[in-house]
Amino acid sequence: MIGAGFAGGTHARVLARTPGAEVVAITAEPPEHARPVADDCRIRIEPSVASLCAADDVDVIVVASPTYLHAEHAVAAARAGKHVFCEKPLALSLEQGRAMVRACEGAGVTLAVGHVVRWFPEYVRAKQLLDAGELGRPGIATLTRGSFSVATARPWYQDPALSGGVILDLMLHDLDVLRWWFGEPERVYGKRLTGRAGALDYALATLRWPDGPIAHLEASWAEHDGFRTAFEVRGDKGMLVHDSRASAPLATQMAGGPAGPAMIPMTTLHETPYARQMRELVAGLSGGESRFVTGREGLRSLALALTVIEAADSGEVVRWRPPE
């Protein structure tokens, strides 16, 4: 494990309970910041990233360091012959992301990316219903994701040059989901507002698909009442509604018939998405079937987020061209 913040601690504790995985070491900067996670998981603390990468008992390295260090740490792990699981966003730039993919492919190791929303049950169920055609032809999708202001976060997180800002850090989740649901969009437009020291960061994006839906996304670091997510997907046969603050977080709405209810609530509590994600990673690295998000897939979602930033800064609609 590289990093002992929220992501690093979550992944370490989840992997410690995942069959087929054994967590053996962690490092952070400074190393003593890793003490709580190391004690919880009963693992050793390595003094540096270099010593962790050189360890003979390490097969996979989880990169959960600050975003601006992802590329450096992932490339170091790949050069040491270790498989890499990297938290999202994959990197801060397309050049960094490509370098990570090249390093892992050149070393013959796996690169997986932590797009964990693909394991949240509401989004999984939406994917299933869309693929099955239950909503008919999708026409409109709206997605909202909000979190606390980052004004009190660590200094690196407040700096968009180091964290990527609200689009690269937060909206990226829903951009990745839309690619997963509908494939690659054709055109991208965006707007954003950035406050002082992350006190009010807000972004909007509109995506269009050829012969497909139009999607509107909203992301903010301005939720004073806590974290929330929501989406609505409308097709010509039905509508899917998710609100994380509702008592039934996911509901399917269909045209009422003589024998069918107008709304079907569905609870979503079971295995955590973080546990599902790591179980899939372990299965894939063990040679089994898996749907973990690959490095190239993570690179495409990174590129789409960077395109939203380009559109927001230019004020122009940008034609989307996914990287090879």
Helix (H, G, I), strand (E, B) or coil at 187: strand
- pTM, two decimals, is 0.92
| Confidence label for 267 from pLDDT (cuts 50, 70 and 90) | very low
Q: pLDDT value at position 156?
A: 85
What architecture is domain 117-271+294-319?
Answer: 2-Layer Sandwich (3.30)
Mean pLDDT of the chain: 91
Domain ranges of the chain: 6-114, 117-271+294-319
**Closest-CA residue to 172 (of 193, 199, 190, 195):** 190
Q: CB–CB of 208/186 below 8 Å?
A: yes
* Percent with pLDDT over 90 in the chain: 79
On whether the CB atoms of residues 66 and 162 are closer than 8 A, the answer is yes
* Six token digits for residue 134: 């239950």
Strands 83-87 and 60-63: parallel
CATH of domain 6-114: 3.40.50.720
Choose the weakest-confidence range: 113-117, 140-144, 196-200, 233-237: 196-200
pLDDT (0 to 100) of residue 83: 98
Structure tokens at 229: 């997510």
What's the pLDDT at 27?
98
Instruction: Average the pLDDT over each of 197-211, 238-252, 291-305 and give the range with the smallest value.
Output: 238-252
- pLDDT for the residue 265: 38
Going by their DSSP bridges, the two strands 318-319 and 250-254 should be labelled as unpaired
Least confident of 13-22, 57-66, 217-226, 304-313: 217-226
What pLDDT is stored for residue 260 in this prediction?
35
Helix (H, G, I), strand (E, B) or coil at 25: strand
